[in-house]
Structure 1
Amino acid sequence: MTTLFFPEYEDAEPGAPLAIFGAGGLGREVLLLLRQLNATHPTWEVRGFYDDQAPATPTVAGLPYLGTSADLNATAEPLAVAVAVGSPAGRAAVVSRLTSGQLSFPALVHPGVALAPHQRIVLGEGSIVQQGCILTCDITLGRFVLLNLGCTVGHDAVLGDFASLMPHANVSGAAQPAPAPTWAPMRP
């Protein structure tokens, strides 16, 4: 986990190469997020899209389709990757296939989302926080968490690895992952 403070968060060099894994609708929304981030703090040179299912056209939102997860793993240079897959299980499966030591997974937070050191937000690698989200204080987001448009997360909430909140979902204060259920046979 990385404790997120903006001076540490914005540590990528201007022009750092980044690719998006996921050439569908969420991938295009993540491209928009990256363009919004670059408008306020030029950081990312978005190279294009990867996806294990090739899109119908050779470009997506004006950027090239670059190949599959195998192609991404074969990259010879360091490359940041935003995993834009909405399904938690699908996102976890993609991340398990991205094994190259050249790949890194930055947290991406919309520039309009208020975050400050006094909020004590812990944000795992590869997490994406979209426009309009509100996070209060003492919150932990695991690895590769997706907070889609307009979500709210209250105090002391913990969202585990690969959790997804879809647009306008609200998590109240002190929400924690449920313990694994224990099942006992029913008595006749």
Structure 2
Amino acid sequence: MKKLLPFLLLSGTALAQDGLYEPAPPANSAFVRVLNTPSATLGDKSVIADKGAASVYVVIPQGDFTAKVGGVNGKLKVEAGKFYSVVADGAKLNLLTDPFADNRAKALLVIYNLSKTANVDLKTADGKTAVVSGVKPGESGSRAVNGITVDLAAFSGSKPLGTLKGVKLERGSAYALVLTDSGLTLTTSSTKTK
């Protein structure tokens, strides 16, 4: 992604001048989204994420910015060219750095543990194949996998915490799996920004 970003930005700028697409974001931009909140403000942009889901990414200039997620306010700092997810954890905001989906031959799975359960594992729903292991509360874990249709589940030891049936993982796409105390949800991540 880092190698592709300058090319994409230059290409996007040329196409934007032709009026075909929205202008490319400034080179000093980061991409930030929220998880699991009905209302949030990132800088001067309003975003929403359904319960257990991820919002679209919004373009934020690098450096410090103010965020409000639900009833929690805070200042956060981002670096240009990186992707982030913001979650409210009690009375504070957590800024998680998202991985780059830079392998177009693989699907990227990112699981966010927003539950109170320690050491969550993402596995195939039958529990036989580990995908991502040991994700602590308030943290995320990721893995690039082959394109496949599969049943996935979050586990605490051998206890399933939430199951997703028939998840179609497509090469070149990214997927956000959000575990809350209410269960597991899936959002197809998008580099579409607001």
TM-score between the two structures when normalised by the length of structure 2: 0.25
TM-score between the two structures when normalised by the length of structure 1: 0.25
Larger % of helix: which?
1
